Amino acid sequence: MSIMLKSPFHSNSMETDPMVYGLRPIIIKIALTELFNDKSILITGARGIGKSSLSYQLQRILNGNEVILTRCGLDNNLSNYIIIDYVCNPDDTLESVVLSIIDKISVKLDEFQSKYKITGIKFDISLFGMITAGINVENKCNNKFKTLTESFVYIIKKFCETYVEPHINIVIDELDQLRPEYNIAHFTKVILEKLDREGISALSFIFVGQNILFKRLLDQQPAFHRLVKHFALKPLDSENAEYVLDACLRRASVSTYIEGEAKEFLLKMSSGYPYSLQLLGHESFCYMLERFTKIPDKGLTITHKDFMNGLRNALVSEDERFKNKFTSLSDTEQQYIMTMANENSRTIPIVYKFNNIIEGIAIRDIEERKKQAVEVITSLCEKQILIEISKHAMFTNWEEKEFSFNEEIFRVYMFYKINNVDEIDYD
């Protein structure tokens, strides 16, 4: 019988431990500067890249936690913030989102006043009930949007009249789940401009969602780019990815190590994606436990074989997601992906030169072939299926550009499916 221990990897939940969080120090510094000035930010990126974790850590800092600040070498001169978070779902409307946030503010105010021993005029909590009732009256009226915006602005104004140096930060996560007809971009513009005309600068938002979100918000309100600082998250660099892996192992209940080759492949296969790193780490850790009937005196060690079996288990668990990822592509994009993925290489991640990619395209005219490749590869990069890794990418000619899969584990999955094999031989 194998031993059972709690995995130190969090593959099924957001990483909340600031000592394990994979830093993006430059982004954190710029984002905090915006929030410190009561400006709003937008965080976008592919699934599993760490959007929600970043917004969570930013709010922890605003709420007084200094761990990330210390790790980034930043001073803490932030004021006290009321922090609110809301996660959208497909059934939400603009009204349900706004009323939920107002309700969360009502809960937070008493907590905030008690925590910081704030004295002054007591905020009239009954205001929230009256505003909710007022909005409900407008449910069938054309001016419901006006009622929502004016009520929200009124709440912020009353808060600012009550407390000294007031600051409210609101995270709206999974915003891409809100249907496009609910124009939250215009709502945001209206309330921020109304507050600005009142001389109030106390409210900031952190919007979070998939890559498509920024374009959708711009379509809803062309001025949206002036309202927020946009951060399109890329994978962690090698140094911070390795830090996350080592930090996870350090928090294991039993001393746990990972062999050099296993560590190398795990880091390369996860490609800087926090989710993939946590998933592969978790599956490798759990498979390793099956080899032990008791805990060795010198602790546990994850071997290359443990990693390979963990990789196989991870691909099984990700099967549905990767199927959906592939079927969401156009027929031409699928052909490119299949051609690129059908390569067995011990060197990972695999690097694809543009000139090598176009060799496999069944178009006789070289210029037409290049034109199609530019269009398809550009689309695949926008969808974050591929990522450009060329040095000085912006100024590199297409003939010199290089690409890799954004998720190397997705490429391996495609190789398995194309060739109907159980595993790629890395031994």
Q: Over the stretch 50-96, which tens digit does the pLDDT of each residue have?
A: 999 999 999 999 988 889 989 988 877 776 788 999 999 999 999 89
Cite the residue boundaries of each domain of the chain with CATH code 1.10.10.10.
332-419
**For residue 141, pLDDT beyond 90:** no
Torsion angle in degrees (nearest 10) through CA of 184, 132, 161, 118: -110
- Other C-beta atoms closer than 10 Å to the C-beta of 72 total 15
pLDDT value at position 123?
A: 58
Cβ atoms of 388 and 354 within 8 Å: the answer is no
Please report, rounded to a whole number, the percentage of residues in the chain having pLDDT higher than 70: 89
**For residue 311, pLDDT beyond 60:** yes
pLDDT value at position 250?
A: 96
Over residues 197-226, the mean pLDDT reads 93
**For residue 420, pLDDT beyond 90:** no
Cβ atoms of 50 and 237 within 8 Å: the answer is no
pLDDT band (50, 70, 90) for residue 229: very high
**For residue 120, pLDDT beyond 80:** no
pLDDT value at position 321?
A: 92
Beta strands in 17-61 (DSSP E): 40-44
CATH topology of domain 332-419: Arc Repressor Mutant, subunit A (1.10.10)
CA distances from 45 to 148, 289, 327, 334, 369 (A): 30, 34, 20, 21, 30
Cite the residue boundaries of each domain of the chain with CATH code 3.40.50.300.
25-232
Distance CA 225, CA 291 (A): 54
pLDDT value at position 118?
A: 56
pLDDT averaged over the chain?
87
Terminal CA-CA length for the chain: 28
pLDDT value at position 131?
A: 59
**For residue 264, pLDDT beyond 70:** yes
- Is 25-232 CATH 3.40.50.300? yes
Cite the residue boundaries of each domain of the chain with CATH code 1.10.8.60.
241-317
Over residues 127-142, the mean pLDDT reads 56
Over residues 354-368, the mean pLDDT reads 81
Question: Class assignment of domain 241-317?
Answer: mainly alpha
pLDDT band (50, 70, 90) for residue 376: very high
- Other C-beta atoms closer than 10 Å to the C-beta of 190 total 19
**For residue 188, pLDDT beyond 90:** yes
DSSP-based three-state secondary structure for 207:
strand
pTM of the model: 0.87
Spell out the residues 6+ positions from residue 331 whose beta carbon is closer than 8 angstroms to its own: none
**For residue 337, pLDDT beyond 80:** yes
Pair of tokens at residue 376: 């398809």
Torsion angle in degrees (nearest 10) through CA of 372, 374, 379, 384: 140
